[in-house]
Amino acid sequence: MFDLDRWREIWASIASNKLRTILSGFTISLALFVFIILFGMGNGLQNGFQKEFFQAGALNMYIFGTQTSESYAGYQKGRNIILENEDLNYILENYSDRIKYISGEYDQQLMVKFGGESGSYSVKGVNSDYIHMVNNQLDKGRFLSDDDLKSQTKSVVLGRMVIEDLMKGADPIGKYINIGSGMYEIVGIFSSKSNDDREERMIFVPLTTLQTIYGTKDLPTITVAPKDGLSTSALGEFADDLRSDLKSRHKVSPTDPSGIRIWDSSQQMSDTNAFFFVLTIIVFFIGGGSLVAGVVSIGNIMVFSVKERTKEIGIRKALGATPYKIITLIMQEAVMITLLFGVIGILLATLLVENINEGLVDYFIYDPGVSTVSLVMACVILFVAGFLAGFLPARYAAKIKPIDALRDDK
């Protein structure tokens, strides 16, 4: 139950030692302030790393055939492995539970003309999912559809710089452009989210259309976007399984490092996760060290408080106060000091972290902040710290004998 007299007594004890209480409480405030700031900056750094280096398509797996370096199953080394449409269908049929998007890629460098302007551009045949797998955005019109691929239409999506080069910024949607020896209808315009001029000078056409024109089923590259939520180890296993199956399909030795190559970001992700794990450990060590210093400081306050109130505690016990009541009195005071100054440190740090977003962008720190879970954890740490700070002095106070306390001249 809430005992007003007890809280008044606790406050009177704190007020009688203002300077000592403030100096010790400051240590707790500083410890929580440092912890929250470092934790928030760590989150911001991780957000910045993700934004700058793990943009859309960063987790894509790129599969392509190369020249074998080992003899196997009657085949000599040096054989060129070429992936085809059947390989893409095989991957989709057998790994659909781990695939979010998939696209084959076949590209050619072709002459492109519009009106009196012309230029050589990379024309890439892709599937309808491709726009979701790269760091591009559709600015106008639409992207290639499944119907475009089935019907092998001559639809085309142009990069923003192609429009600038050939059409001087005019609206091209619905118009026709000459690519190679054929006329294509412009159905969409895209741009790069990272303002990559090279990417914006690309032209996308239906994969089936470009393959039919060149009479091939070859796929120099198959791009796979794994499903969301796959762990680093699961992504690595996915790549290993794909590599093994495709080697088997193309009669490539399982030990051959060439033949079938798959580039994936599992190793980079693993290194990144390890870095941020170490960073988190450092934050906890620094914040934890400061917090330990604060706990010791609060503990010292309570030891002095108990020493100064020895006679008072002895009288309480002589009048019937139980050890439990003595312990709770001392511990309540320790917890109150810890919570009071700790909350001040948490609030100041949270306000600072939440209001310095723009000033840290140049340092690759984006949206630094502290989650609700972290704040709850900080409050739990505060309570535990207060408990620890008060436990030993309270235990000492509970053991004071009334007769010894009354004889104490100090």
- Apex CA 374: angle with CA 333 and CA 335, to 5°? 5
**In this model, does residue 139 exceed pLDDT 50?**
yes
pLDDT of 373 reads 73
Helix (H) or strand (E) run with residue 8 in it: helix 4-15
111-to-120, 126, 197, 343, 361 alpha-carbon distances in Å = 4, 19, 18, 67, 41
Q: Which of 223-232, 289-298, 364-373 has the lowest mean pLDDT?
A: 364-373
Q: Answer yes or no: is pLDDT of 353 > 80.
A: no
Q: How high is the pLDDT of residue 51? A: 60
Inform me whether the pLDDT recorded for 230 exceeds 90.
no
Q: Tell me the residue ranges of DSSP E strands in 193-234.
A: 202-206, 221-226
Is pLDDT above 90 for 35?
no
Position 31 scores a pLDDT of 77
Backbone angles phi, psi at 201, to 5 degrees: -100, 20
pLDDT of residue 50: 61
Lowest mean per-residue pLDDT among 124-138, 186-200, 273-287: 273-287
SS3 26: helix
pLDDT at position 351, please?
Answer: 83
Separation between Cα atoms, residue 279 and residue 285, nearest integer Å = 10
Of 79-93, 174-188, 312-326, the poorest mean pLDDT is in 312-326
- 368 SS3 class: coil
Residue 15 scores a pLDDT above 80: no
Are residues 264 and 230 in contact, defined by beta-carbon separation less than 8 angstroms?
Answer: no
The length of the chain is 410
CA 98 to chain CA centroid, Å, is 20
pLDDT at 197 (0 to 100): 83
Tell me which amino acid residue 127 is.
Answer: N
| Contact indicator for 28, 338 with CB cutoff of 8 Å | yes
Q: Pick the residue with more confidence: 42 or 111? A: 111
Q: Strand 136-141 relative to strand 99-114: parallel, antiparallel, unpaired?
A: unpaired
Name the token pair of 401.
Answer: 């004998």
Start-to-end C-alpha separation, the chain: 34
Q: What is the pLDDT of residue 400?
A: 72
Mean pLDDT calculated for residue range 211-216 = 94
Question: Is the pLDDT confidence value at 6 over 70?
Answer: no
For residue 11, pLDDT beyond 60? yes
Distance, in Å, from the CA atom of 225 to the CA atom of 242, rounded to the nearest integer, reads 13
Q: Which helix (H) or strand (E) holds 381?
A: helix 372-398
CA pair distance 208, 85, nearest whole angstrom: 10
Distance CA 111, CA 378 (A): 63
